[in-house]
Amino acid sequence: MAEGLGWWGVPLAIVAGTMRGGTPFLFVSLGECLTEKSGKINLGLEGTLLTGAMTAYGVSYLTGSPWLGILAAGLAGLVLGSIHGWLSQQFRVNDVAVGIAMIIFGSGIAFFFGKPFIQPSAPQLPTLNLAGSNVSPAVEAALQISPLFLLGLAIAPLMKWFFQSTRWGLYVRAVGDSPDAARAMGVSIFKVRMLSIMAGSFLAGIGGASLSLYYPGVWTERISSGQGLMAVALVIFARWNPMICLWASLLFGGAQALGPSLQSVGIKQGYYLFNAAPYVLTLLIMIVTCSPKRTLAGVPGALGMDN
Protein backbone atom coordinates (compact mmCIF):
# COMPACT_ATOMS: atom_id res chain seq x y z
CA MET A 1 0.00 0.00 0.00
CA ALA A 2 2.89 2.35 0.69
CA GLU A 3 4.55 1.68 -2.65
CA GLY A 4 3.20 4.78 -4.27
CA LEU A 5 4.81 6.95 -1.66
CA GLY A 6 8.34 5.59 -1.79
CA TRP A 7 10.33 6.12 1.37
CA TRP A 8 7.58 8.23 2.89
CA GLY A 9 5.68 5.01 3.13
CA VAL A 10 7.84 3.78 5.97
CA PRO A 11 6.83 6.28 8.69
CA LEU A 12 3.27 6.25 7.39
CA ALA A 13 3.13 2.49 7.57
CA ILE A 14 4.59 2.58 11.03
CA VAL A 15 1.98 5.07 12.22
CA ALA A 16 -0.77 2.96 10.71
CA GLY A 17 0.77 -0.21 12.10
CA THR A 18 1.11 1.39 15.50
CA MET A 19 -2.60 1.99 15.69
CA ARG A 20 -3.48 -1.41 14.33
CA GLY A 21 -0.90 -3.53 16.06
CA GLY A 22 -1.09 -1.49 19.24
CA THR A 23 -4.79 -2.09 19.81
CA PRO A 24 -4.58 -5.68 21.07
CA PHE A 25 -1.54 -4.78 23.17
CA LEU A 26 -3.49 -1.91 24.64
CA PHE A 27 -6.46 -4.02 25.71
CA VAL A 28 -4.42 -6.91 27.03
CA SER A 29 -2.00 -4.68 28.91
CA LEU A 30 -4.79 -2.64 30.48
CA GLY A 31 -6.44 -5.91 31.49
CA GLU A 32 -3.19 -7.21 32.93
CA CYS A 33 -2.58 -3.89 34.65
CA LEU A 34 -5.93 -4.09 36.44
CA THR A 35 -5.30 -7.72 37.35
CA GLU A 36 -1.80 -7.12 38.68
CA LYS A 37 -2.87 -4.06 40.64
CA SER A 38 -4.99 -6.44 42.68
CA GLY A 39 -1.92 -8.55 43.41
CA LYS A 40 -2.37 -11.50 41.06
CA ILE A 41 -0.61 -12.24 37.78
CA ASN A 42 -2.62 -13.62 34.90
CA LEU A 43 -0.37 -15.16 32.28
CA GLY A 44 -3.47 -16.86 30.94
CA LEU A 45 -4.36 -13.69 29.03
CA GLU A 46 -2.47 -15.21 26.10
CA GLY A 47 -5.11 -17.94 26.02
CA THR A 48 -7.86 -15.39 26.65
CA LEU A 49 -6.65 -13.40 23.67
CA LEU A 50 -6.96 -16.44 21.40
CA THR A 51 -10.34 -17.42 22.77
CA GLY A 52 -11.51 -13.83 22.35
CA ALA A 53 -10.28 -13.73 18.76
CA MET A 54 -11.99 -16.99 17.90
CA THR A 55 -15.24 -16.12 19.66
CA ALA A 56 -15.45 -12.71 18.05
CA TYR A 57 -14.81 -14.12 14.63
CA GLY A 58 -17.21 -17.01 15.07
CA VAL A 59 -20.05 -14.90 16.47
CA SER A 60 -19.52 -12.21 13.88
CA TYR A 61 -19.70 -14.87 11.16
CA LEU A 62 -22.75 -16.60 12.57
CA THR A 63 -24.80 -13.51 13.45
CA GLY A 64 -23.41 -11.12 10.91
CA SER A 65 -22.77 -8.51 13.57
CA PRO A 66 -19.15 -7.74 14.48
CA TRP A 67 -20.38 -5.77 17.49
CA LEU A 68 -22.03 -8.86 18.92
CA GLY A 69 -18.74 -10.60 18.22
CA ILE A 70 -16.89 -8.12 20.38
CA LEU A 71 -19.36 -8.51 23.21
CA ALA A 72 -19.12 -12.29 22.99
CA ALA A 73 -15.32 -12.10 23.04
CA GLY A 74 -15.45 -10.02 26.22
CA LEU A 75 -17.85 -12.47 27.83
CA ALA A 76 -15.68 -15.42 26.84
CA GLY A 77 -12.79 -13.60 28.53
CA LEU A 78 -14.96 -13.09 31.60
CA VAL A 79 -15.58 -16.82 31.87
CA LEU A 80 -11.88 -17.70 31.51
CA GLY A 81 -11.09 -14.96 34.03
CA SER A 82 -13.49 -16.35 36.58
CA ILE A 83 -11.79 -19.75 36.28
CA HIS A 84 -8.37 -18.18 36.80
CA GLY A 85 -9.66 -15.97 39.60
CA TRP A 86 -11.10 -18.91 41.48
CA LEU A 87 -8.24 -21.36 40.89
CA SER A 88 -5.41 -18.96 41.61
CA GLN A 89 -6.88 -18.03 44.97
CA GLN A 90 -7.10 -21.53 46.32
CA PHE A 91 -4.85 -22.52 49.19
CA ARG A 92 -1.26 -23.20 48.10
CA VAL A 93 -2.00 -22.55 44.46
CA ASN A 94 0.43 -20.40 42.54
CA ASP A 95 -1.00 -17.88 40.11
CA VAL A 96 1.82 -18.24 37.59
CA ALA A 97 1.28 -21.99 37.40
CA VAL A 98 -2.46 -21.53 36.98
CA GLY A 99 -1.74 -18.90 34.34
CA ILE A 100 0.33 -21.31 32.28
CA ALA A 101 -2.39 -23.91 32.53
CA MET A 102 -4.88 -21.27 31.41
CA ILE A 103 -2.76 -20.41 28.37
CA ILE A 104 -2.97 -24.01 27.27
CA PHE A 105 -6.65 -24.27 28.17
CA GLY A 106 -7.57 -21.01 26.45
CA SER A 107 -5.70 -21.85 23.26
CA GLY A 108 -7.07 -25.38 23.31
CA ILE A 109 -10.63 -24.05 23.51
CA ALA A 110 -9.94 -21.59 20.75
CA PHE A 111 -8.43 -24.19 18.42
CA PHE A 112 -11.12 -26.73 19.16
CA PHE A 113 -14.09 -24.46 18.53
CA GLY A 114 -12.26 -22.37 15.96
CA LYS A 115 -11.62 -25.09 13.38
CA PRO A 116 -14.80 -24.42 11.35
CA PHE A 117 -14.11 -20.67 11.20
CA ILE A 118 -10.69 -20.77 9.58
CA GLN A 119 -12.04 -20.83 6.04
CA PRO A 120 -15.11 -18.57 5.96
CA SER A 121 -14.77 -14.81 6.15
CA ALA A 122 -16.66 -12.97 8.84
CA PRO A 123 -17.99 -9.41 8.67
CA GLN A 124 -15.26 -7.06 9.88
CA LEU A 125 -15.63 -4.05 12.12
CA PRO A 126 -16.29 -0.83 10.23
CA THR A 127 -13.47 1.68 10.46
CA LEU A 128 -13.44 5.46 10.68
CA ASN A 129 -11.56 7.41 8.07
CA LEU A 130 -9.11 9.78 9.64
CA ALA A 131 -7.73 11.33 6.46
CA GLY A 132 -9.68 13.84 4.33
CA SER A 133 -11.05 12.92 0.93
CA ASN A 134 -8.35 14.63 -1.13
CA VAL A 135 -5.42 12.44 -0.17
CA SER A 136 -3.95 9.58 -2.11
CA PRO A 137 -5.62 6.21 -1.61
CA ALA A 138 -2.45 4.85 -0.01
CA VAL A 139 -2.60 7.43 2.77
CA GLU A 140 -6.31 6.94 3.14
CA ALA A 141 -5.90 3.20 3.55
CA ALA A 142 -3.20 3.68 6.12
CA LEU A 143 -5.26 6.00 8.24
CA GLN A 144 -8.29 3.81 8.71
CA ILE A 145 -9.00 3.85 12.40
CA SER A 146 -10.89 1.26 14.32
CA PRO A 147 -13.44 2.31 16.94
CA LEU A 148 -11.79 -0.31 19.15
CA PHE A 149 -8.58 1.70 19.09
CA LEU A 150 -10.50 4.77 20.18
CA LEU A 151 -12.21 2.76 22.90
CA GLY A 152 -8.80 1.64 24.18
CA LEU A 153 -7.59 5.24 24.09
CA ALA A 154 -10.52 6.18 26.30
CA ILE A 155 -10.16 3.28 28.72
CA ALA A 156 -6.56 4.12 29.67
CA PRO A 157 -7.27 7.50 31.31
CA LEU A 158 -10.53 6.11 32.66
CA MET A 159 -8.64 3.36 34.44
CA LYS A 160 -6.15 5.84 35.83
CA TRP A 161 -9.04 7.87 37.20
CA PHE A 162 -10.61 4.67 38.55
CA PHE A 163 -7.47 3.84 40.56
CA GLN A 164 -7.19 7.36 41.90
CA SER A 165 -10.65 8.62 42.51
CA THR A 166 -13.04 5.79 43.14
CA ARG A 167 -13.48 3.77 46.27
CA TRP A 168 -13.30 0.56 44.26
CA GLY A 169 -10.05 1.65 42.69
CA LEU A 170 -8.59 2.26 46.13
CA TYR A 171 -9.77 -1.20 47.21
CA VAL A 172 -8.02 -2.81 44.26
CA ARG A 173 -4.77 -1.00 45.04
CA ALA A 174 -5.02 -1.78 48.74
CA VAL A 175 -5.61 -5.48 48.12
CA GLY A 176 -2.70 -5.60 45.68
CA ASP A 177 -0.30 -3.73 47.88
CA SER A 178 -1.09 -4.95 51.35
CA PRO A 179 -3.74 -7.66 51.73
CA ASP A 180 -3.40 -7.55 55.51
CA ALA A 181 -4.28 -3.88 55.53
CA ALA A 182 -7.24 -4.52 53.27
CA ARG A 183 -8.46 -7.35 55.46
CA ALA A 184 -8.19 -5.14 58.52
CA MET A 185 -10.49 -2.70 56.75
CA GLY A 186 -13.04 -5.42 56.14
CA VAL A 187 -12.43 -5.63 52.39
CA SER A 188 -12.92 -9.08 50.90
CA ILE A 189 -9.66 -9.91 49.18
CA PHE A 190 -11.19 -12.82 47.33
CA LYS A 191 -13.97 -10.75 45.82
CA VAL A 192 -11.79 -7.81 44.85
CA ARG A 193 -9.25 -10.05 43.15
CA MET A 194 -11.93 -12.14 41.49
CA LEU A 195 -13.63 -9.08 40.01
CA SER A 196 -10.33 -7.49 38.96
CA ILE A 197 -9.22 -10.65 37.21
CA MET A 198 -12.59 -11.02 35.51
CA ALA A 199 -12.67 -7.42 34.34
CA GLY A 200 -9.07 -7.71 33.14
CA SER A 201 -9.93 -10.83 31.18
CA PHE A 202 -12.95 -9.10 29.69
CA LEU A 203 -10.62 -6.46 28.28
CA ALA A 204 -8.20 -9.10 27.02
CA GLY A 205 -11.08 -10.86 25.27
CA ILE A 206 -11.89 -7.62 23.45
CA GLY A 207 -8.19 -7.38 22.59
CA GLY A 208 -8.64 -10.75 20.91
CA ALA A 209 -11.63 -9.43 19.00
CA SER A 210 -9.53 -6.61 17.62
CA LEU A 211 -7.12 -9.20 16.22
CA SER A 212 -9.71 -11.16 14.30
CA LEU A 213 -12.15 -8.40 13.37
CA TYR A 214 -9.79 -5.49 12.71
CA TYR A 215 -6.16 -6.35 12.17
CA PRO A 216 -5.03 -8.69 10.72
CA GLY A 217 -8.76 -9.44 10.50
CA VAL A 218 -8.68 -13.17 10.04
CA TRP A 219 -8.90 -16.12 12.37
CA THR A 220 -5.89 -18.41 12.40
CA GLU A 221 -4.37 -20.37 15.21
CA ARG A 222 -1.17 -18.35 15.17
CA ILE A 223 -2.89 -15.02 15.31
CA SER A 224 -1.77 -13.91 18.76
CA SER A 225 1.91 -14.84 18.39
CA GLY A 226 2.64 -14.33 22.06
CA GLN A 227 1.13 -10.85 22.41
CA GLY A 228 -0.64 -11.87 25.60
CA LEU A 229 2.66 -12.76 27.22
CA MET A 230 4.42 -9.67 25.92
CA ALA A 231 1.70 -7.60 27.53
CA VAL A 232 2.91 -8.85 30.91
CA ALA A 233 6.35 -7.43 30.20
CA LEU A 234 4.71 -4.30 28.94
CA VAL A 235 2.87 -3.75 32.20
CA ILE A 236 6.13 -3.98 34.12
CA PHE A 237 7.69 -1.53 31.70
CA ALA A 238 4.70 0.75 32.26
CA ARG A 239 5.17 0.62 36.04
CA TRP A 240 1.57 -0.49 36.50
CA ASN A 241 0.36 2.88 35.25
CA PRO A 242 -2.52 2.70 32.72
CA MET A 243 -1.42 5.84 30.88
CA ILE A 244 2.09 4.50 30.39
CA CYS A 245 0.48 1.22 29.29
CA LEU A 246 -1.07 3.23 26.48
CA TRP A 247 2.25 4.65 25.28
CA ALA A 248 4.02 1.35 25.72
CA SER A 249 1.34 -0.45 23.69
CA LEU A 250 1.82 2.01 20.89
CA LEU A 251 5.57 1.42 21.08
CA PHE A 252 5.08 -2.33 20.83
CA GLY A 253 2.59 -1.92 18.03
CA GLY A 254 5.09 0.26 16.21
CA ALA A 255 7.84 -2.28 16.73
CA GLN A 256 5.60 -4.91 15.22
CA ALA A 257 4.95 -2.77 12.18
CA LEU A 258 8.65 -2.24 11.54
CA GLY A 259 9.24 -5.44 9.60
CA PRO A 260 6.24 -5.30 7.26
CA SER A 261 6.68 -1.60 6.54
CA LEU A 262 10.33 -1.99 5.58
CA GLN A 263 9.37 -4.91 3.42
CA SER A 264 6.79 -2.79 1.65
CA VAL A 265 9.52 -0.47 0.37
CA GLY A 266 11.54 -3.39 -0.82
CA ILE A 267 14.00 -3.95 2.01
CA LYS A 268 14.23 -7.70 2.19
CA GLN A 269 17.38 -8.24 4.21
CA GLY A 270 16.83 -8.94 7.84
CA TYR A 271 13.08 -9.22 7.39
CA TYR A 272 12.79 -11.85 10.06
CA LEU A 273 15.04 -9.83 12.29
CA PHE A 274 12.75 -6.82 12.09
CA ASN A 275 9.74 -9.03 12.64
CA ALA A 276 11.34 -10.11 15.88
CA ALA A 277 11.48 -6.51 17.09
CA PRO A 278 8.66 -6.84 19.66
CA TYR A 279 10.31 -9.89 21.19
CA VAL A 280 13.69 -8.21 21.32
CA LEU A 281 12.03 -5.21 22.89
CA THR A 282 10.42 -7.45 25.53
CA LEU A 283 13.78 -9.00 26.39
CA LEU A 284 15.47 -5.64 26.56
CA ILE A 285 12.80 -4.30 28.87
CA MET A 286 13.17 -7.29 31.14
CA ILE A 287 16.94 -6.81 31.31
CA VAL A 288 16.85 -3.07 31.79
CA THR A 289 14.15 -3.05 34.45
CA CYS A 290 15.53 -5.77 36.65
CA SER A 291 18.09 -4.86 39.23
CA PRO A 292 18.82 -6.40 42.60
CA LYS A 293 19.70 -3.01 44.03
CA ARG A 294 16.38 -1.28 43.87
CA THR A 295 12.75 -2.19 43.87
CA LEU A 296 10.56 -1.15 41.00
CA ALA A 297 8.59 1.96 41.67
CA GLY A 298 4.88 1.24 41.51
CA VAL A 299 5.02 -2.52 41.87
CA PRO A 300 2.04 -3.77 43.90
CA GLY A 301 3.52 -5.00 47.18
CA ALA A 302 1.77 -8.35 47.23
CA LEU A 303 2.14 -9.16 43.54
CA GLY A 304 2.41 -12.88 42.93
CA MET A 305 2.64 -13.82 46.60
CA ASP A 306 0.71 -16.76 47.96
CA ASN A 307 -1.79 -14.96 50.10
Partner 1 sequence: MTTLSSLPSARQLDRPPDLQVNGMTKQFGRLMALDNLSMHLKSGSFHALLGENGAGKSTLVKCIMGFYQPTAGELLLDGNPVQIGNPRDAHRYGIGMVYQHFTSVPAMTVAENLVLSRFGGAGIINWKAEIEALRAFMSTSPFQVPLETPIAQLAAGQKQKLEILKQIYLHSRILILDEPTSVLTPAEADEVLGLLRQQVSAGELSILMISHKFREVMAFADEITVLRKGKFAGSGAVSELTVADMAEMMMGEQKVPTPVQKTSLPNATPVLEARQLGANKDNGIAAFSGIDLTVHSGEIVGIAGISGNGQRELVEVLAGQREAAAGEVWVNGERYTATRAEMYRHQVCALPEEPLRNACVAHMSVAENMALRTFDRPPQAKGILLLLQAIRQMAVGLIGQFSVKTPSPETPVQNLSGGNVQRAVLARELSTEQIKLLIAANPCFGLDFAAVDFIHTQIINARNRGVAVLLVSEDLDELLKLSDRLIVISDGQFTYQSQTTTAEYAAIGHAMAGH
Binding site residues, partner 1, CB under 8 A: 164-168, 170-171, 173-174, 177-178, 180-186, 292-295, 297-298, 300-301, 306
Cβ-based nearer residue to partner 1, 177 or 221: 177
The secondary structure of 178-245, three-state, reads: CHHHHHHCCCCHHHHHHHHHHHHHHHHHHHHHHHHHCCCCCCCCCCCCCHHHHHHHHHHHCCCCHHHH
CB of 300 to partner 1, least distance (A): 7
CB 143 within 8 A of CB 129: yes
Residue 144 Cβ vs partner 1, minimum distance, rounded to whole Å: 36
Question: Phi/psi zone of residue 198: left (φ > 0), alpha (ψ -120 to 50 degrees), beta?
Answer: alpha
Measured CA to CA, the distance from residue 120 to residue 151 in angstroms comes to 27
By beta-carbon proximity to partner 1, the closer residue of 91 and 272 is 91
Q: Looking at the DSSP assignment, which residues form a beta bridge with residue 144? A: 129
Return d(Cα 235, Cα 298) in angstroms, integer: 11
- Nearer to partner 1 by Cβ, of 132 and 292: the residue is 292
Please identify, using beta-carbon distances, which residue of 222 and 294 lies nearer to partner 1: 294
Question: How many angstroms separate the CA atoms of 59 and 307, rounded?
Answer: 38
Q: How far apart are CA 274 and CA 102, in angstroms?
A: 30
Cβ distance to partner 1 smaller for residue 186 or 266: 186
Phi-psi region of 266 (alpha: psi -120 to 50; beta: other; left: phi over 0): left
Minimum Å distance from CB 171 to partner 1? 8
Our CB check for partner 1 shows the closer of 9 and 300 to be: 300
Residue 40 CB, nearest approach to partner 1 (Å): 16
Nearer to partner 1, 262 or 303 (CB): 303
Q: How far is the CB of 291 from partner 1 (least distance, A)?
A: 9
Find the shortest distance in angstroms from Cβ 18 to partner 1. Answer: 31
Distance CA 50, CA 59 (A): 14
What phi and psi values does residue 18 have, to the nearest 5 degrees? -60, -45
CB of 167 to partner 1, least distance (A): 5
